Amino acid sequence: MDPVFLKVLVGTTLLAASSSVVGAFSYLKGQSLVGDAIAHALLPGVVLAFILGGIRNSSFLILGALISGLLAHYGIGYLENKTKLKSDTAVSLVLSTFFGFGIMLMSYIQRTGQGQQAGLERFLLGKAAAITMQDIYIFSALALVLIIGVGLFYKGFQLMTFNEDFAHAIGLPMPLIRFTFTVLTVLAITIGIQTVGVVLMAALLITPSAAARVWTNSLPAMLALAASFAGVAAIMGTYISSVLPKMPTGPWVVLVLAFFGFSSLLFAPKRGWFSKQRRAKANQRKTIRENVLKLLFQQEEQRGLPALLSIEEIQGIREMRLDRLTSTLKELKNRLLIIDHGGSYGLTELGRGEGRRVVRLHRLWELYLTERLGMAADHIHPQAETMEHVITPEIEELLVKELGNPEVDPHQSPIPYEED
């Protein structure tokens, strides 16, 4: 195997996986843009370290980037807390100021003609092929520091992300936890820009977490998935750039990550777009089924006998699209909830029970709105029309208990309970 390819592969995988683990907490805290701002703010620290040191030493440049990143992070916090600037404005101000200063310093180096300046542009756009064995050793050590840091402060980071007030209440040293998280975030960005540069660093930090979040509700699983997505993207991006001539590694890593991100947003089983569309359509069909059953049951109440209604009669009572009503009646017939009497439809015993349940929930909720929320009886029907389809048996039991087993709704219509 090509030694250059192997170095790039190991380096990018370490960078991507370790950065994504720290980035997950930034994503969950809603600070995605802060990572982008810090990535841009690292540039002046890198260039100043080169100017002061006179050589392009990875350790020295990383130290300069770390200091610059910390200054940017606390600068954003200061502007948010001490001024009337909004969060996005503070982030934009720090990003543009630091990045502009870094570009100015790079222009100064170009004018001085320092030959070693040529290696600095990889911090701007990324250049994974320039990774050396010394870089691999440094990146491995930093990646280990990131993983150990997240492991040691996991509970603190978790509470800082989801419930910082509770963390204060139980006596956790939140200033130390926040400082540690800031240092780890800046370190993650510092080592990540070696591959993708400051321009694309936000994608490496946030995209794996965004992709992982739609697959799970568990934080440990999300961290593992984010690291896996980032690692696989690094491997695939490195391989593609090695096969295709003159293709940079960093952008390909980001493109693969983007593919994972968009695929997850579309196809994740619970939060994916297609899953949400399926659930929405299923809920829509359920609502129409229950509306038809409720209508037939109410007609039985009014007539005092089993009611048979044609499609035209149903549409005359409740406006429905013909194609949707036809398909709903067919579905109800297949579920043995209604029976077809030569084009007129009536409830079966099973369907009558379902219709009774929907009517009961509707009238219980109307009563709750009038007696507990003080709403006027002539304003509560639309709310009850919506809620009747989402009230669970547990909520129904609580409503009945809260209202004292009521017998009539605000309109004096009987509340039908289950028959023996």
Q: Which domain holds residue 82?
A: 3-269
Is 130 found in the same domain as 13? yes
Q: Could you tell me the pTM of the whole model?
A: 0.78
- pLDDT at 295 > cutoff 90: yes
Is 24 found in the same domain as 36? yes
Range 272-278, long-range pairs (CB < 8 A, 24+ positions):
272/214
Q: Residues 375-386: what's their mean pLDDT?
A: 90
Is 324 found in the same domain as 183? no
pLDDT of residue 370: 93
- Residue 34 has, within 13 A of its CA and on its CB side, a CA count of 28
pLDDT of residue 335: 95
- Residue 273 has, within 13 A of its CA and on its CB side, a CA count of 7
86-116 per-residue burial string, b: 16 or more CB within 10 A, e: under 16:
eeeebbbbbbebbbebbeebbeebeeeebee
Q: What is the pLDDT of residues 227-264, one digit of tens each?
A: 999 989 988 988 888 888 777 777 888 899 999 999 99
Domain count, the chain: 2
pLDDT of residue 385: 93
Q: Residues 4-26: what's their mean pLDDT?
A: 81
Closest CA to 326 of 314, 336, 316, 342: 314
Q: Which two structure tokens, joined as six digits, stand for 180?
A: 């540690």
First to last CA, the chain: 77
Mind giving me the DSSP string for 285-323? Answer: HHHHHHHHHHHHHHHHHHHTS---EEHHHHHHHS---HH
User: Which of 223, 254, 269 marks a domain boundary?
Assistant: 269
* Residues facing 309 on adjacent strands: 345
Mind giving me the DSSP string for 202-216? Answer: HHHHHHHHHHHHTT-
Closest CA to 68 of 114, 32, 105: 105
Confidence bin at 291 (pLDDT 50/70/90): very high
- The one-letter code for the residue type at 322 is L
Asked whether the beta carbons of 38 and 73 are under 8 A apart, the reply is yes
Is 328 found in the same domain as 201? no
Is 314 found in the same domain as 260? no
pLDDT of residue 126: 64
CATH number at residue 316: 1.10.10.10
Is 293 found in the same domain as 263? no
Find where tokens 């493109």 sit: 255
Report for 132-141, 148-157, 201-210, 391-400: range of highest mean pLDDT: 391-400
Closest CA to 252 of 234, 231, 227: 234
Inter-CA distances, 121 with 128, 198, 391, Å? 12, 10, 60
CATH number at residue 108: 1.10.3470.10
pLDDT mean across residues, the chain: 86
Rounded to 5 degrees, what angle do the CA atoms 33, 35, 36 make? 65
Find where tokens 């509470």 sit: 159
- pLDDT at 195 > cutoff 70: no
Closest CA to 42 of 126, 144, 145: 126
Q: Which two structure tokens, joined as six digits, stand for 260?
A: 């994972």
Residue 1, Cβ density class (10 Å: 0-12 exposed, 13-18 middle, ≥19 buried): exposed
Q: What is the pLDDT of residues 179-193, one digit of tens each?
A: 898 888 888 887 777
Is 287 found in the same domain as 201? no
- The one-letter code for the residue type at 68 is S
pLDDT of residue 337: 96
Listed in sequence order, the DSSP H helices in 218-371 are 219-243, 249-267, 273-303, 311-317, 322-334, 349-371
Is 155 found in the same domain as 92? yes
176-211 per-residue burial string, b: 16 or more CB within 10 A, e: under 16:
ebeebbbbbbbbbbbbbbbbbbbbbbbbbbbbbbbb
- pLDDT at 52 > cutoff 50: yes
pLDDT of residue 420: 41
Q: Is 336 helix (H, G, I), strand (E, B) or coil?
A: coil
Stated as kind and residue range, the H or E segment containing 271 is: none
Is 158 found in the same domain as 19? yes
Closest CA to 358 of 279, 286, 282: 286
Give the Cα separation of 65 and 200 in Å (integer).
16
Q: Residues 30-40: what's their mean pLDDT?
A: 81
Give the Cα separation of 302 and 307 in Å (integer).
9
- pLDDT at 42 > cutoff 70: yes
Give the Cα separation of 133 and 63 in Å (integer).
19
Confidence bin at 165 (pLDDT 50/70/90): confident
Is 344 found in the same domain as 312? yes
Is 243 found in the same domain as 289? no
Q: Residues 356-363: what's their mean pLDDT?
A: 96
Give the Cα separation of 297 and 361 in Å (integer).
13
With pLDDT > 70 as the criterion, what percentage of the chain qualifies? 92
User: Which of 244, 269, 294 marks a domain boundary?
Assistant: 269
- Give the dihedral sign, CA 329/335/338/339: positive
Is 256 found in the same domain as 277? no
- pLDDT at 115 > cutoff 60: no
Q: Is 340 helix (H, G, I), strand (E, B) or coil?
A: strand
User: Which of 203, 236, 269 marks a domain boundary?
Assistant: 269
- pLDDT at 58 > cutoff 70: no
Decide which of 101 and 130 is more confident.
101
Q: What is the DSSP letter of 121?
A: T
pLDDT of residue 35: 79
Q: What are phi and psi of 411, to 5 degrees?
A: -95, 10
Which has the minimum average pLDDT: 49-63, 69-83, 104-118, 404-418?
104-118
Which has the minimum average pLDDT: 42-46, 228-232, 317-321, 332-336?
42-46
